[in-house]
Amino acid sequence: MTSFSALFWLNNSRTKNNKPAIYLRVSVGGKCAELSTYQYVTPALWNASAQCVKGNSEEA
């Protein structure tokens, strides 16, 4: 049986205009890969438990 998981997270080492990049970590069968979404967000708008941006502003 092959397992699959996806995790979105903020990569604070990759910033643009003081906003960290949103990264995606994909794991399939124990092998991992990290990909950039090329999206940047204010850390205050990031909901880590839900792995998404909160709010309904233009930035969100």
Please report, for the chain, the start and end positions of each structural domain, with discontinuous segments joined by +: 4-53
Q: What's the token pair of residue 8?
A: 């979105």
The pLDDT value given to residue 28: 95
The pLDDT value given to residue 42: 94
Q: How many residues does the chain have?
A: 60
Looking up tokens 């910033």 gives: 15
Residue-wise pLDDT for 14-55, tens only, equals: 999 999 999 999 999 989 999 999 999 999 999 999 999 998
Q: What's the token pair of residue 26?
A: 């994909």
Render the burial of 47-56: b for 16+ CB within 10 Å, e for the rest: eeeeeebeee
Whether pLDDT at 1 is above 80 = no
* DSSP letter (8 states) at residue 57: S
Q: What's the token pair of residue 2?
A: 């092959």
